Structure 1
Amino acid sequence: MDVTQTDQMHGTQATWLRAAYDVLCDQGVEAVKIMPLARSLGLTRSGFYYHFTDREALLEAMIRHWEDKNTGTLEARCDAYAETVCEAIFNLFDCWLDNDLFDSPLDLAIRNWARNDPALQTRLDAADKRRQAAMERIFLRFGYSPQEAETRALTMIFVQIGYISMRVTEPRDERLARMPPYIVVFTGQEPTPAEIDRFMARHCTPAA
């Protein structure tokens, strides 16, 4: 049996994960169950067990995906090369505008799930500490004191968690327009026109 036939019979692991992700984000972890997932995909329970030993293995795969994508990518953006602190924070802001870098609905779903799962809460706390440390490194490498780096990093974290937990929706152009003033709030410095232009070029769709 070739790979295509196997995928038709069992689905791919990515297919099962995506279906579970959709349910997790829409309905919460309690609704992530094997048979409803199988029915939604038009597959059988055996298809699920071809890829995962049990439901816990599926949940663990989603948690690891969240850790790698959201926390791992955020750390990478914080550590990316930048000539100024403003440019470094713009690198981080890429996460808030590109779902391929940082998945806000998944972050909210994990936070809601962790409220009733002490083990996951421990992992969430560890992830938040990693994110805070990554943001602090930005300020430290540009000469801010440790105390100031901590305060500014926490301010950025609390603002973004507020966006996520309050499910703030705003037109993309409005949020983009707020990014340079946020840089001033978070760093105490004005980004240059060139820094703003480079950031906007990454996120603005060219006119037809």
Structure 2
Amino acid sequence: MTKTPAPSPGSTQETWLHAAYDALTEGGVEAVKIMPLAKRLGVTRSGFYWHFKDREALLEAMVRYWEDKNTGNLIARCDAYSETICEAVLNLFDCWLDDTLFDGRLDLAIRNWARVDSGLAARLAHADTRRKAAVQAMFLRFGYAASEAEIRTLTLIYTQIGYLSMQVTEDRALRFSRMHGYVEVFTGQTPTVSELDRFIARHDTAPLPADITP
């Protein structure tokens, strides 16, 4: 029986996943192929099979990673403790500013991939349903009527999807300067200076500009 050669030094499941992530976000799912990934890593193709049964197993691992990270963290931020709806929305905004919580490039790549993969499209729809339910529950928790909570939820989520699909790039300071207005639009309420200060402090940025006051 022929044995699969031992993996090359530096060839781990994580390195293959990282290479697949780069290929997916740069060139789409068609770019995620074993031989090009091996060349990218500078290792042999045979080492791949120590970590994954086949290409489909690698793709499945990528999708599970996206589900756990993006959808899982978004739901967790919606469920996080907050005393006001403004604070709750700012908790959710953590996802848009911290790549360790939510990877926008990966989310866009998954959405593009789902256009040509019906199975993934169904999983994306399920993920979006879970995200909408979590955001809507957040609004309901603070006394919004069901119909209003639904509209505010869709406005918030569709705005963020628009950011991703349009690949908007903003100076970080500019984006922070708009947070006050975004919270007002999404909630109909005015965040306090202390709520905004705590939010900004989490992301290690400069204090609020003088004109960003309620």
Bin the TM-score by the shorter chain. over 0.9
Give the match for residue 66 of structure 2: 66
Unmatched segments (≥5 aa) in structure 1: 1-5
Count of residue pairs brought into register by the alignment: 202
Give the match for residue 19 of structure 1: 19
Give the 3-state SS of the residue equivalent to 1:182 in structure 2.
helix
Q: Which amino acid aligns with 1:156?
A: L
The structural deviation recorded for 1:203 is 1.5
Q: Relative to structure 2, which stretch is displaced further, 40-49 or 53-62?
A: 40-49
Do residues 192 (structure 1) and 192 (structure 2) align?
yes
Query: Is the contact between residue 183 and residue 189 of structure 2 (CA under 8 Å) also seen in structure 1?
Result: yes
Following the alignment from structure 2 to structure 1, what is the Cα–Cα distance between the partners of residues 200 and 51?
A: 41
Q: Which amino acid aligns with 2:48?
A: F
Give the match for residue 41 of structure 1: 41
Give the match for residue 85 of structure 1: 85
Give the 3-state SS of the residue equivalent to 1:76 in structure 2.
helix
Give the match for residue 161 of structure 1: 161
Following the alignment from structure 1 to structure 2, what is the Cα–Cα distance between the partners of residues 107 and 157?
A: 13
Give the match for residue 142 of structure 2: 142
Q: Which amino acid aligns with 1:89?
A: V
Give the 3-state SS of the residue equivalent to 1:53 in structure 2.
coil
Following the alignment from structure 1 to structure 2, what is the Cα–Cα distance between the partners of residues 205 and 183?
A: 18
The structural deviation recorded for 1:8 is 4.4
Give the match for residue 3 of structure 2: none
Give the match for residue 170 of structure 1: 170
Give the 3-state SS of the residue equivalent to 2:178 in structure 1.
helix
Following the alignment from structure 1 to structure 2, what is the Cα–Cα distance between the partners of residues 81 and 59?
A: 35
Q: Deviation above 4 Å: which 4+ runs of structure 1?
A: none
Query: Is the contact between residue 10 and residue 47 of structure 1 (CA under 8 Å) also seen in structure 2?
Result: no
Query: Is the contact between residue 184 and residue 190 of structure 2 (CA under 8 Å) also seen in structure 1?
Result: yes
The structural deviation recorded for 1:204 is 3.1
Query: Is the contact between residue 10 and residue 44 of structure 1 (CA under 8 Å) also seen in structure 2?
Result: no
Following the alignment from structure 1 to structure 2, what is the Cα–Cα distance between the partners of residues 145 and 33?
A: 49
Query: Is the contact between residue 140 and residue 146 of structure 1 (CA under 8 Å) also seen in structure 2?
Result: yes
Query: Is the contact between residue 7 and residue 46 of structure 2 (CA under 8 Å) also seen in structure 1?
Result: no
Give the 3-state SS of the residue equivalent to 2:169 in structure 1.
coil
Q: Relative to structure 2, which stretch is displaced further, 38-47 or 115-124?
A: 38-47
Q: Which has the higher helix share?
A: 1
The structural deviation recorded for 1:119 is 0.5
The two structures, once aligned, show a CA RMSD in angstroms of 1.3
Query: Is the contact between residue 78 and residue 138 of structure 1 (CA under 8 Å) also seen in structure 2?
Result: yes
TM-score, with structure 2 as normaliser: 0.92
User: 1:84-136: per-residue Cα shift (whole Å, max 9, x none)?
Assistant: 00000000000000000000000000000000000000000000010000100
TM-score, with structure 1 as normaliser: 0.94
The structural deviation recorded for 1:206 is 5.8
Unmatched segments (≥5 aa) in structure 2: 1-5, 208-214
Following the alignment from structure 1 to structure 2, what is the Cα–Cα distance between the partners of residues 92 and 179?
A: 12
Q: Relative to structure 2, which stretch is displaced further, 9-18 or 83-92?
A: 9-18
Give the 3-state SS of the residue equivalent to 2:30 in structure 1.
helix
Query: Is the contact between residue 24 and residue 32 of structure 2 (CA under 8 Å) also seen in structure 1?
Result: yes
